[in-house]
Amino acid sequence: MLVALLCLLVTVVYTCDIDVELESQTDGIMHSQFTFHNGTKSKVHHYKKKGDKNKAHIVGGLCNLQPTILKTYKEDPELGSGKQIGETRAFLEGAGMVHYMVHHDAWPRMGMRVGVSCGFGDCGGRG
């Protein structure tokens, strides 16, 4: 019984279920894309004006073994080699939410996180 409880605890502690919200802080047209801990990429997110929001979801086990990377672009990277504005990366783990702010002329940054542990990177503030 104790072994089963410990296994359950380890499974819960080392599992990712993170909701991500991306919000444009500028009126410039831009795009963003995640590269997740397992090497897969998200769809390209598009922004046209301040306040535009997009969502992503990070799921999997042992997410903190590799960084989650968010890159921003002036042009859509799916249509060629979009000029990269900047990138941010962090080692994330947990079950909760993370909020990123993106800009057309500055690097993206994590604004806040709740229920998510973060190490070695842009970890924002804790809510």
8-12, 29-33, 69-73, 123-127: which has the minimum mean pLDDT?
Answer: 8-12
How far apart (Å, rounded) are the C-alpha atoms in residues 15 and 72?
A: 27
pLDDT of residue 44: 94
For residue 64, how far is the Cα from the chain centroid? 12
CATH code of the domain containing 120: 2.60.40
pTM score of the predicted model: 0.84
Task: Specify the 3-state DSSP secondary structure of 61.
Answer: strand
Q: Which spans in the chain are helix H?
A: 2-13
How many domains is the chain built from?
1
Summarize pLDDT for 34-46 with one digit per residue, the tens: 999 999 999 999 9
By residue range, what is the domain housing residue 78?
2-126
Q: Which of 8-12, 47-51, 76-80, 103-107 has the lowest mean pLDDT?
A: 8-12
- Say whether 100 sits in a helix, a strand or coil: strand
On average, the pLDDT of the chain sits at 87
